Chain A
Amino acid sequence: MKTGKVPLIEVRNVSKFFGSVIALKDVSMAVYAGEVMCLLGDNGAGKSTLIKILSGVHKPDEGEYYVEGERVDFDSPRDALDRGIATVYQDLAMIPLMSISRNFFLGSEPTRGRGIFKRFDVRFADRVAREELKKMGIDIRDPSQPVGTLSGGERQSVAIARAVYFGAKVLILDEPTAALGVKQAGTVLRYIAQARARNLGVVFITHNPHHAYAVGDRFTILKRGRTFGTFTKDELSREEMVRMMSGADELEALSHELEEFARTDAMHAKGKLSEVEQQLAESLERAAKTGDDV
């Protein structure tokens, strides 16, 4: 896709072991400026381990890590941050009772004045927080309102806007849409697209293929610690993506098994439990057929 250009970040054949557990094995991927790279995989596929390597939390046991073509060896998330790699974790690192602008600048407060008159520049903080959010397309009424009053999607956006403002070149977003409703997830997806438009490289972690397909340019699929490789949108249909991610065969097998349970249960008792299980089995089956995730 972007041949000839140097990727913003790239890992080559990285592996990570925790004791005897192989969390990640021979995984390679690259992220270029102005693209959304989706990192897909079921629970336990190694997504978290990979992003922890990218964000400097873990060091890879094997393989190399390059930032803008230069080999790096991060000791801490701070190192990664200094190279412009910002991670927005699922739990957000937002403090609900603090105002938006105070959250925005926590740890990097703007000051004015000198000596004992050096003070937190509240007006500057309010103005910048408001402007930066506006650039992401969110119009907040009052930057001094507590973050707790924002919806989940808006909070994600504040976290993204903060990372962008403090000079991130690469944004790593850890399941930003996981706990959100359909509409709010849509909002976050729009901000991801906006970040791309501002020429950032985005690593978008999700296990929802619909969300990935909506904004992704390229897709790296992980399963059980290994990678299926990286695909562009043309090379991969949504259905194939789902199949690779979770293994639709496994889903089918599971739904059959549940059906069997439901049948035997119904024979023994007509309790409500079997009804619930039957519904679950049906929905699983439907999911396996249509390629929907449950």
Chain B
Amino acid sequence: MTTTTETASQRDERMVEVGLLRRLLGRPELGALGGAILVWIFFAIIAPEGFLSLRGTSSYLEVSAQIGILAVAVALLMIGGEFDLSVGSIIGFSGAVMAMLTTEVGIPLYVSAIIALLISLLVGFFNGYMVVRTKLPSFIITLAGLFIIRGLTIGITRAVTGRTQVGGLGDAPGYNVMRLIFGVDVPIAGVGFPISIFWWFLFAALATWVLLRTPVGNWIFGMGGAEEAARNVGVPVDRLKIGLFMVTAFAAWLVATITVTVVKSADTKRGEQQEFIAIIAVVIGGTLLTGGYGSAIGAVLGALIFGMVRQGIVFAGVDADWFQVFMGAMLIVAVLVNNYVRKRAEEAKR
């Protein structure tokens, strides 16, 4: 009797060891974590004064937050097996709607923001609905959305205001409320950290919770991994998909609201290329392009790498033109590393 329990506990111990190793190897964000640490060390060495200061940290975190909010939502969608190329355009659209409602109609900015939120969610719903109904790849549907929404934004804004920018929101009614929620700096050790950073962390924490600890999260993984199989066991695939497109639209609105509040203006061009940068951050974070695997934390790390490089290059005094080269190369390396890590994780059997 005693001997059996002993062997059982011994075997359990071995099991935990193997499990831990595998769990670490199997985590999607492992590569991104390594990448983030490397990038941080790199800039800490070549540009220590600017990069390591609290002010420097605050500046790259702010850049990261803008892309990170988007990336977290895009990660959820991509794990679910879909793309959203229209998020960048929704940023411009949402901001323009918000600004025009206040400057042209005269309603307080926070009311405009809520209306813009509802319209953005509707756009997200429409994206999802089209994908579910037409069964076309979401890549195509939202690529069309990218152009349609951007075109509408520029067209409507010019028709209404005669320009492509809407400024002067600093004196608009309701601005101070908005600033308090989306635009203040939170002082930490004497340095202001934009509140958007905290929104980013909150959103990422929420997404991680949903992914790993709720049935909906399980459904997202299942849907991205094998849609038909998930449907067969009772996952409400269509509703889930539409919901995820609404989440990315929500994230685009949040980014729009933050920039409109901080910059005090809207620009119809705002958000251009953000959809691709978000996808890059998500992929660097270990999420598979084919869906079914990935993490929101990874997206956070991907966005962090993006922010650190963008600001780090400035601190190092390197021409910022090189930034895009770096991001492109980073994407390829990330995909290769991820594929390798995933293969190792899958083959680690026996």
Contacts and interface: CB of A to CB of B under 8 A. Distances in A.
A95 B26 contact: no
Interface in B16-63: 18-19, 22-23, 26
A97 B26 CA distance: 10
A145 interface: yes
Place the interface of chain A in its size category.
20 to 34
Contacts of B342: 97
Nearest to B229: A93
B215 interface: yes
A103 B22 CA distance: 18
B235 A106 contact: yes
A149 B233 contact: no
A17 interface: no
Nearest to B345: A146
Contact of B225 (A98, A118, A141): A98
A141 B218 contact: no
B292 A95 contact: yes
B230 A141 contact: no
Contacts of B225: 95-98
Contacts of A148: 346
B307 interface: no
B317 interface: no
B151 interface: no
Nearest to A106: B222
Interface stretch (A107-115, A177-185, A225-233, A274-282): A107-115
B173 to A, nearest CB: 34
A6 interface: no
A90 to B, nearest CB: 12
B22 A108 contact: no
Contact of A97 (B214, B233, B234, B293): B293
A261 interface: no
Given A145-B22, A149-B349, A120 B292 contact: no
A120 B218 contact: yes
B167 interface: no
Nearest to B233: A107
B215 A120 contact: yes
B226 interface: yes
A102 B26 CA distance: 15
Contacts of B15: 141-142
Contacts of B293: 97
B22 A142 contact: yes
Given A141-B18, A141-B19, A109 B221 contact: no
B232 A93 contact: yes
Given A111-B214, A145-B22, 5 more contacts: A97-B293, A97-B342, A107-B222, A107-B234, A149-B347
Interface of B: 15, 18-19, 22-23, 26, 209, 212-215, 217-219, 221-222, 225-226, 228-230, 232-235, 288, 292-293, 342, 345-349
29 contacts: A77-B232, A78-B234, A93-B229, A93-B233, A95-B221, A95-B222, A95-B229, A96-B225, A97-B221, A97-B288, A97-B292, A97-B346, A98-B218, A98-B225, A102-B218, A102-B222, A106-B219, A107-B219, A107-B222, A108-B234, A119-B214, A120-B217, A141-B15, A141-B19, A142-B15, A144-B19, A144-B23, A145-B26, A146-B26
